[in-house]
Amino acid sequence: MPLFALICSDKPDHADLRQAVRPAHLAYLEETGATVHAGPFLDAQGGMTGSLVVLDLPNRAMAEAWAANDPYATAGLFAEVRIEEWKKVIG
């Protein structure tokens, strides 16, 4: 299956929303079983400012549906979400 990278940027001043929704987001990552790698982007102070999620799914439409149903997305956390097909070369 192809891999898809979700590159997500949080809306400014939404750290409290991120923390409130984080347990549901982590449960979604676990329950869906599509996540290969995931973690937050950090600012200079160590605060979370976005997310990188690599998914193993059959096609882009499924990656888009996964992204749309992520609790972070449904809560309105993200200012922008990019979905890119990704080819693993090293690691």
**pLDDT tens profile 10-60:** 999 999 999 999 999 999 999 999 999 999 999 999 999 999 999 999 999
Using only C-alpha atoms, the chain has a radius of gyration, in whole angstroms, of 13
Q: Would you put residue 20 in left (φ > 0), alpha (ψ -120 to 50) or beta?
A: alpha
- The H or E element spanning position 8 is strand 3-10
pLDDT band at 66 (very low <50, low <70, confident <90, very high): very high
Q: Which CATH code is given to the segment(s) 3-86?
A: 3.30.70.1060
pLDDT score for 80: 98
How many separate helices (H) and strands (E) can be counted in the chain? 3, 4
Q: Measured between alpha carbons, how far is 34 from 78 in angstroms, rounded to an integer?
A: 20
pLDDT score for 55: 98
pLDDT score for 1: 79
Closest residue by Cα to residue 67 from 47, 52, 88:
52
